[in-house]
Amino acid sequence: MEPWNNVIPLSRSAARPVALEVQLGEYRRAFTEWTPDQGRVFQAFYAIDTETTEIDRENPQIVPALVLATACDETRGVLLSRNTLPAFLRIHHDSSLICHNAAFDLKVMQQVIGKGQDLYELVELGRVWDTLVLRRLLSLATQGHAARGDSTLAASVRDILGLELPKETEDEQGKAIRTGFGRYLGRPLSEIPFDSLSYAARDPLATWLLFWKLYAQIKAALRDSTQVWGYVNESWLADCIRRFGPLTHHVQL
C-alpha cells in the first residue's frame, strides 16, 4: 500500500466522535471530530479545506453546499460538520487560516455561517493565506511564469514537497470520492465512510505542509532579491511585504 493511502480507523460509534489517522509521505496526523465543548484547538495558524456537493459547471455562480470541512496544524487535525463549522470559526476568529484556492473555500464557508461572521474581514486583515496564490507568485518570481497548469494542490504537493496526493481515488463501490461527497449532505460524520473522510483529511495536511515549504522558499527568494531591478533597500522591502503581503500575496488574494 502506498504511504499516501494509509488510513487507520481509530473509532466510530454513535456515542463517540469519529477519529482516524492519515499519512502523507512521512507525515502523519490524527483527526478527530470537533465539537464546541472542546473549545479552541488551534492557535496562530491552521489549514482548512472543504468538501462540497458537486459543482454545477453550467451555473458556476451557484455556491455548492458544504458537506464537511477538515482542518489541521502541526500536531492535530479536526473533522467539522455543517453544524459545527460556524462555532469552530467563531472560536478561532483570531487565528490565521490557510487554504488552497481560498476564493472557493471562503465562499462555501461564508454561505454556511451566514451573516453572523464575515470571513472576508480576515482577508483584509491579512489573516487568510492561499497556497495556490503563493505557488503561482513564487513561480512567477523565480521561473518567469505563473504555473497555471501546475498550481493544483496535487501538482503543487508533487512539485514542492515531492509527495503524491492522488485525487482520482475511488470508494469501495468504485465511485469517485472527489465528486461523491454530495451523497452525504446532511448526514452525521459517523455515517461517512472512512475512505472519504481520509481523502478529505489529507488535503489540509497537504496544504499545511505546502504552506510552510512555500514560506521558506519565498523568504529565500526575497532574501536574494537585492540585485533585482527596482530593489531599494531592506526597510523598503519590509514595508512592501507589510502592505501588500509577500510577493503581493494579500493584493492578489
For residue 55, the model assigns a pLDDT of 86
CB-count exposure of residue 121 (10 Å: 0-12, 13-18, 19+): exposed
Q: What is the mean pLDDT of residues 180-184?
A: 95
For the chain, the straight-line distance linking the first and the last C-alpha, in angstroms and rounded, comes to 38
The separation between CA 93 and the C-alpha centre of its own chain, rounded to angstroms, equals: 16
Please check the confidence at residue 145 and state whether its pLDDT lies above 90: no
Instruction: Give residue 16's pLDDT.
Output: 56
The amino acid present at 241, given as its one-letter code, is I
- Residue 58: per-residue pLDDT: 84
The CA distance from 35 to 39, in Å, is 8
pTM of the full structure? 0.91
Confidence class for position 100, pLDDT limits 50, 70, 90: very high
Q: Are strands 19-24 and 27-33 parallel, antiparallel or unpaired?
A: antiparallel
Percent of the chain predicted with pLDDT > 70: 93
Q: Dihedral through CA 75, CA 79, CA 85, CA 91, nearest 10?
A: -30
**The predicted structure's pLDDT at residue 241:** 92
3-223 topology per CATH: Nucleotidyltransferase; domain 5 (3.30.420)
Least confident of 1-15, 54-68, 186-200: 1-15
Q: What is the H or E stretch that residue 239 is in?
A: helix 234-244
Q: Using alpha carbons only, give the angle 24, 26, 28 rounded to the nearest 5 degrees.
A: 60
Reported as a single tens digit per residue, the pLDDT across 193-217 is: 999 999 999 999 999 999 999 999 9
pLDDT digit string, tens, across residues 213-244: 999 999 999 998 888 888 899 999 999 999 99
How far is Cα 191 from Cα 69, in angstroms, rounded to an integer?
15
Q: What is the CA radius of gyration of the chain?
A: 19
pLDDT per position as a tens digit, 4-20: 344 444 555 445 579 99
